[in-house]
Amino acid sequence: MTIEKSLRMFFQGVKLDEREEKYVIKKLQAVEKVIKNISRVEVEIDYDKKKNNYRVEVMIKTPHKLYRAEDITESIEGSIDLVEESLKDQAKKDVGKVRTLKMRGRRSLKKKTVVDSGARVK
């Protein structure tokens, strides 16, 4: 599934132009390469006039996990860059956990394997 089909964007106090919207979609497509089986993506962008800051929050729903990242900076592009890195880090951490569990299982099977004393093993 592509990002555009499952993408929902919410804005509060800000109106994105076409260039900024394409930038957000481009960054989310980069995240899609790391996170597989995305079912829904929600992007929320708020502008605080008093502090002159943009808050960008992205939630990515997969069948088994929810990835969420949020950042506040002075530009939308800066916030989306930091959110993208955070989401990628979360996904890589999960991949590492799965890999570690598989390796542990392989090691325990290897320990439990018994070789017959009559077998010719080199």
Write down the domain spans for the chain.
3-106
Mean per-residue pLDDT, 84-111: 86
CA distances from 105 to 17, 48, 64, 77, 98 (A): 51, 50, 21, 43, 11
pLDDT in tens, 8-42: 888 898 888 899 999 999 999 999 888 888 899 99
- Alpha-carbon span 112 to 52, nearest angstrom: 62
Residues 6+ apart with CB under 8 A from 69: 57, 58, 82, 83, 86, 87, 90
How many CA within 13 A on the CB side of residue 36? 3
What confidence tens digit (pLDDT) does each residue in 109-118 have? 777 777 777 7
**Which CATH code fits 3-106?**
3.30.160.100
Q: With a threshold of 0.85, does the pTM exceed it?
A: no
CB 57 within 8 A of CB 20: no
| Bridge partners for 59 per DSSP | 42, 68
